[in-house]
A and B are shown apart, each in its own frame.
Chain A
Amino acid sequence: MKKAGEKTALKRSKEEEEEQNQIFNFNRKPADEDKDDDLSDSEDSVYSGLEDSGSDAEGEEGSEEEEEDDDDDKMKERTEEEVSEEKKEDEYEHDSSDEEDIRNTVGNIPVEWYKDFPHIGYNLDGKKIYKPIRNKDELDDFLDKMENPEYWRTVHDKQTGSDIVLSDDQVELVNRLQRGQFGDVNFNEYEPMVEFFSSDVMIHPITNRPADKRSFIPSLTEKEKVSKLVHAIKMGWLKPRRVEDDGRGRYYDLWASEDSSILARHRMHLPAPKIPLPGHHESYNPPPEYLFTDEERALWEQQDPGDRKLPFVPRKYSSLRQVPAFSHFIHERFERCLDLYLCPRQRKMRVNVNPEDLIPQLPKPKDLQPFPTTQSLVYRGHSGLVRSISVSPSGQWLASGSDDGSVRFWEVCSSRCMKMVQVGGAVKSVAWNPNPSVCLLAVALDSVVLILSPSLADKQVILSSERLLSAQQEGEEPAEGNGSVVWSEAEGEELNQGVRLKIQHPKAVHQVVWHAKGDYLASVMPDNTSHLQVYIHQLSRRRSQNPFSRNKGLVQCVSFHPIRPYFFVATQRSIRIYNLVKQEMTKKLQANSKWISSMAVHPGGDHVICGSYDCKLSWFDLDLSTKPYKMLRHHKKAVRGVAYHRLYPLFASASDDGSVIVCHGTVYNDLLQNPLIVPVKVLRGHVMTHDLGVLDVTFHPTQPWVFSSGADATIRLFT
């Protein structure tokens, strides 16, 4: 409505104008009035909303005619109108070529076809258009060029054959075209764009072209494609796009129903051990005692990473902000991962053993008394180490042989040295004749065995021993079966000292030992190379014989069986038992030790103990086996001597570690019961000299006392 209002206002003003025109033009031709009618029509068209510039221009043309004789006050208006009129006329001038061709109707044909004709074509009326008479020659042309200022804008029109002088506007147009510009000056190349294909839905379609037929017919190619896809989906080759879940709904109550059916598999499952929890060492600020000292640190750095007790060096930082990142963190995690899936697992049954339970329950030593417990006497006098001791069968006297070349006789109760015999050589062994009716002592030194009569007994005993020594003298001459052993009587000074007999051996004698009866005597000369290692001497007949014809190894010591005619020979690793009557070997005991040092036979005769240099003491039960019934590793150093008590169930071992260990060893008559061995006392007292401790040990024949001789030149009595 508003627009309509405006238009009516415009119309009114125009009507007013016309009224004015009418006022000025009252004496005009009726044709003009007609025009006015036309104008009113055009006004109608204006009213209808269509612009009609043509009718306006006509109206103005009308007014132009008046202008010539009109007032000056309308000059401004007039000039405006003039401009528009000129424009109009220009439009007609530069109209399209069709209008120009109106003069020549031959059409668009090459001009050469009319070359030979005088005319050039035909006009609208069908009359020939004659070529202009060409009287211009080159000179004319030149003159024209020189004189005619319009020459440069003169163009020859081939179609009409006439020269046309271009107007200023035409020249301007040519220039613009040559510059590549639009011909129209007023044409704006940069008009604002009108968006036809915008997002706004317009009422009217941009194109109103009806849809193609093909758009109503299903496409065959598409059908082919779709069917391919459908087939792929059907066959499972194509899958619909997966819906990406963000993980929010991924979790649910997994253990909502806990069924134990799966548990069955887990019987063999060994859960991985958890990582040990950190101790004070790992703190960033540990107590000072947990930090490494310089030596500990050096040790840590030297050690192989596998041997280290801690995988890191404890450090102390004074505040939390100074703690750096731990460089091995990822590493440790990774190692843990490897352990979890690569490390073989094994179920280890760790039994928590109470160490007290491991100790065997033995009868209390208190209940096994009597046995020697304290050192009561020390026999001093020797100046060298005392190699061997022996107690007289009565138990009153003690004989000892030492490296200082003397044999001493001691009274047991008072520790007084009753007698000393200088034999002139390191004494290796002494042995008291076990026969209580004689009083004789065998002494081994160098390669001689001496028989001493110490005359420390009743007169009768002395006499009987003298008789024994001189018995065969009256009889036959010493039968020297073996030329290597020489029996001789002692003379002079030696005789005064008590030496009665000298038995000269071919080699150095290490041990002498008596038979229980007191008539036979065995001597040992260890030698690896010959079979001449043991001699058995008969005192009453002054006879010697070598029982073995073959070398069975280095003989260490020998011993007689206390009751039966058996003879024990200990070589380095074994003990052989020979039957002297049958002249054959009855048993060979394996000692399971490297080097036997000493041996003792139980007074019952069924048990043997032997000590060895590799600290062991083996107990053999001859009824059981050839292997030791028991190995005792009580000593820290080599065992030098072992001894049985004649009456009490005791045995003792002496060792280089300076101790004498007394054990209780009950032997049962019942064959079913094994001997009971209980260590009862460790006796110490000897001083270590030159790495040697106790060299020999022997029991008192009747009392539970034990004597020991040591490298410190003393003999000690433990009661």
Chain B
Amino acid sequence: MGGLQKKKFERGSATNYITRNRARKKLQLSLPDFRRLCILKGIYPHEPKHKKKVNKGSTAPRTFYLLKDIRFLLHEPIVGKFREYKIFVRKLKKAYGKTEWSAVERLRENKPTYKLDHIIKERYPTFIDALRDIDDALCMCFLFSTFARTGKCHVQTIQLCKRLTVEWMNYVITSRSLRKVFLSIKGIYYQAEVMGQLITWVVPYQFSHDHPVDVDYRVMATFTELYTTLLGFVNFRLYNSLNLVYPPKKLSALSASLARVVSSAEEEEAQLDHFPTEGEDMEKMEAREKELKQQEAQKKLFEGLKFYLNREVPRESLAFIIRCFGGQVSWDKSVCIGSTYEMTDETITHHIIDRPSVDKQYINRYYIQPQWVYDCVNAKVLLPVEDYFLGVTLPPHLSPFVEEKEGDYVPPEKLKIMALQRGEKTGNEQEEEEEEEEEEEEEEEQEEEEEDDNGDEEDDEEEVAEEKNLKKMEEQRSQGKVIFKVTPGKLKVENKARLEQEEKAEEKRLAIMMMKKKEKYLYDKIMFGKKRKVREANKLAAKRKAHDDAEKAKKKKARK
């Protein structure tokens, strides 16, 4: 008794959140402006822990922003710019209405603009923060740079995106930081390691887009606005780190001359300093050293090789990759500027071509399909070219981003590549077959083990048989046909280890029976997930086996 009654929803989590509409009203912005502001400032809704409490007892679906975030937006100078722009539009409309063309022109000249520098700095206080978030920026810029001038966005934006992406690629080439590439059905994925950050981006294949109608390009444009600014500053910093002048003078397709500007920088880095270390550190150091060595080797993967790109292969992608790993590359003059040598050049080692056959072949070069380049980069070694010759059925292209853990399904091609990486040579097919057989055996073993895991109740087969015998005898006896028979007894060999295992398994089962409901639920869930994983792996293995069997049968038929 006594004291004022506490009112509901006036303290606690209800006061920490604000709905979108209320936030909008507080900021006095229209919905598009609010959206733009949120995108630029990186403000996103938060999911409260107790939604009902925050929603003041209602369960209606609402999005909540942190009140702190919205308060923080109140002081954003860019909001003022939004208002200015609103006024500008109003004035422009008025001038149009009065057909005052000089006023229109004057207004247009003084169209309010804003800069996003301070926002970038605020969102990414350190350079590493910016690098961590650059994935989306790169994807978006690469997408926009492929847009045609169809009016979906400003031409300047497209040009800027194009410029920034080319600058980025040039940085990657110069710093030799590309690590993985992947040809997917969506586009080409690239992964680079820049200042210790793994950065992945995807570039669509070079086709014109048919623009979907249900996509709001204003949202995309706002994001691009932010991303181009971010990418520009990042590029500046990265170029500076290589002692390059930032706006590079020449902006063209990835011709050889571009990165020739500086090429000596990385050689200095290559040497690892030796520190006197002891014991475990020593091992770690050695491992690190080995890794670094491998990386260095990968960086020089295509060094000394001379490529020529036929006109039907994706030129930009291949040129980028080859030059990232130190190869020389050229193409037909008529395809694009920047070709450095002709097809007739006798020193060309690899001719990349993607057609079933070619009339005139030079003897002293390999004619290979483009997948070879990508596979080599992922495998970090030069793969044998035989599998990639013209007209040959290509080996599957595997994703370099998958890292198989124990128990996961590993496609046999991956195993082969891993063997190659270790330096083993699987030259003839017999070995391969053997390997395959081994794998199969392994798989079978695995399956057996799983069966053991699953069927805990099963006893030894012998025991089962014995029991059956006994049952039969019992039945006979019960039916009155008493047959006395003495059968020679078998010496029962008790497998101690097995018995122990069984005992343990039973113990576990009994303990599981005693679990609390909550824990049992969690345990079951975890185990279900694990089992599903195993099931999926098994399914893939079975599918593969069926496929291989079918292939073998076909081959046999063909031989006959």
- Which residues of A does B touch, CB under 8 Å? 238-239, 241-242, 247-255, 258-260, 262-263, 265-266, 268, 270-272, 274-275, 277-280, 282-290, 293, 312, 314-315, 317-321, 323-334, 336-338, 340-346, 353, 355, 358-362, 364-366, 378, 380-381, 632-634, 661, 677-682, 684
Contacts and interface: CB of A to CB of B under 8 A. Distances in A.
B400 to A, nearest CB: 9
A265 B119 CA distance: 13
Contacts of A342: 44-45, 63
B45 A343 contact: yes
A323 B200 contact: no
13 contacts: A249-B247, A254-B233, A254-B236, A277-B402, A284-B397, A285-B183, A288-B543, A326-B204, A332-B186, A337-B219, A360-B511, A380-B478, A682-B510
A678 B527 CA distance: 23
B126 A255 contact: yes
Given A274-B135, A359-B523, A329 B186 contact: yes
B163 to A, nearest CB: 8
Contacts of A253: 236-237, 240
A314 to B, nearest CB: 8
A604 B185 CA distance: 74
B435 interface: no
Contacts of A260: 125
A252 B118 CA distance: 12
Contact of A353 (B211, B478, B526): B526
B227 to A, nearest CB: 10
A590 B34 CA distance: 58
Given A247-B160, A326-B186, A336 B136 contact: yes
A262 B120 CA distance: 12
Q: Quick one: which of A315, A320, A345, A678 has the most chain B CB within 10 A? A: A320
Contact of A344 (B64, B121, B397, B398): B64
A574 to B, nearest CB: 22
B205 A286 contact: no
B362 interface: no
A81 to B, nearest CB: 70
B522 interface: yes
A284 B183 contact: yes
A303 to B, nearest CB: 17
Contacts of A332: 186
Interface of B: 35, 38-39, 43-47, 49, 63-64, 66, 68-69, 72, 106, 109-110, 113, 117, 120-122, 124-127, 130, 132-133, 135-136, 139-140, 143, 160, 182-187, 189, 200, 204-205, 207-212, 214-216, 219-220, 223, 232-233, 235-237, 240, 246-247, 312-314, 354-355, 369-371, 393-394, 396-399, 401-402, 411-413, 457, 474, 477-478, 503, 506-516, 519, 522-523, 526-527, 530, 540-541, 543-544, 547
Contacts of A681: 510
A706 B422 CA distance: 62
Contacts of B219: 334, 337-338, 341
Given A323-B183, A337-B219, 5 more contacts: A250-B232, A263-B125, A280-B396, A283-B184, A679-B514
A283 B236 contact: no
B236 A320 contact: no
Nearest to A322: B354
A337 B125 contact: no
A320 B370 contact: yes
A330 B127 contact: no
A302 B370 CA distance: 36
B233 A282 contact: no
Q: Quick one: which of B186, B235, B246, B511 has the most chain A CB within 10 A? A: B186
Contacts of A279: 399, 401-402
A474 to B, nearest CB: 46
Contact of B187 (A254, A293, A329, A362): A329
B135 to A, nearest CB: 6
Given A251-B232, A255-B237, A284-B183, A329 B396 contact: no
Nearest to B541: A289
A289 B160 CA distance: 43
A365 B507 contact: yes
A359 B511 contact: yes
B413 A337 contact: no
A278 to B, nearest CB: 5
A318 B393 contact: yes
Contacts of B371: 285, 320
Contact of A320 (B246, B369, B412): B369
B187 A326 contact: yes
Contact of A271 (B68, B133, B312, B544): B133
A283 B399 contact: yes
Closest 6 interchain pairs by CB? A277-B401, A325-B207, A346-B47, A289-B544, A344-B47, A344-B45
Nearest to B402: A279
B543 A289 contact: yes
A473 B26 CA distance: 99
B210 to A, nearest CB: 7
Contacts of A327: 210
B326 to A, nearest CB: 23
A284 B210 CA distance: 21
Nearest to B113: A242
Contacts of A238: 106
Q: Quick one: which of A262, A293, A319, A677 has the most chain B CB within 10 A? A: A319
Contact of B184 (A275, A282, A288, A345): A282
A258 B127 contact: yes
A278 B399 CA distance: 7
A287 B544 contact: yes
A252 B478 contact: no
A319 B220 contact: no
Given A283-B398, A319-B354, A326 B413 contact: no
A681 B513 CA distance: 11
Q: Quick one: which of A344, A381, A679 has the most chain B CB within 10 A? A: A344
